[in-house]
Amino acid sequence: MKFFIRTIVGCILLSIIATHSPAYADGKSHDNHEIKEKVILGWLEFMWLKPWQIKTKAKLDTGAKTSSIHAKNIEHFDKDGQPWVRFQFGSSTKLSNNKYKPGKSKKVVTIEAPLYRKVIIKQHKRSNVERPVVMLPFIMGGVEYTAQFTLTDRSKFLYPVLLGRRFLKDIAIIDPDNTYLRTSNEAYTRLDIDGKELTTTAADNETDTQNTPAKEDKDSQTDQSEHRKT
């Protein structure tokens, strides 16, 4: 009889412990097959802006919250009663203003996108500034993504695109010692809208060659805080 009672009590205790374990506490299963696998990326990678078919370099920086993209000649306009933004993007931040004139450079494209939101950027020792944010699709490492990008003039930085932790936190682990871990084999190819592989022209590879050494820049975006404004 005592053995039977001890057995019943033991089962009850095990049941209580199990229902209070972390796996039950958050209502989620922690089986290995349900944990999202993250890719390892270098701190610098190539990416393709889709559907504008332009290759560029992106700096991956977990110190910055929101991703940003080099934008010149930003214009706001209405389309079908909705706010849109038009801007020019150059795959190099060092292009002269003359290159942003129509037909002057294959490294410059005009991008139009719906205005997703606006943010107020708090800057150290400078006045706050309001910037537009858009959602843009791109391909990196053979995978298509969509991310929020703050539009800003990045002429003072080396790289035209910054991918921040809002985008990176769910998909990647950054290796700070390496570059082009997922895109080295794509340095001379691009994907069109239908996923067909195309060979880039010599003009496309004027500076973005696989052998160009990566240089780290001090991106002041990292030290800026963002406030959402709808």
Per-residue pLDDT tens digits for 54-99? 999 999 999 999 999 999 999 999 999 999 999 999 999 988 887 7
| 58: nearest Cα among 205, 217, 171 | 217
pTM of the model: 0.68
pLDDT given at position 95:
85
pLDDT given at position 152:
96
Q: Torsion angle of alpha carbons 181, 187, 192, 197, nearest 10°?
A: -100
Contact 175, 39 (CB under 8 A): no
DSSP 201: P
pLDDT given at position 3:
54
Q: Can you give the residue ranges of every domain in the chain?
A: 35-209
**Superfamily for 35-209?**
Acid Proteases (2.40.70.10)
Task: Please state whether beta strands 67-70 and 143-152 pair in parallel, antiparallel, or not at all (unpaired).
Answer: parallel
DSSP 220: G
Q: Mean of the pLDDT values across residues 46-55? A: 90
**SS3 of 124, please?**
coil
DSSP 115: E
On the CB side of 95, CA atoms within 13 Å amount to 26
Out of 67-71, 122-126, 194-198, 212-216, least confident range: 194-198
Characterize 179-216 residue by residue with b for buried, 16 or more Cβ atoms within 10 angstroms of its Cβ, and e for exposed.
bbbbbeebbeebbeeeeeeeeeeeebeeebeeeeeeee
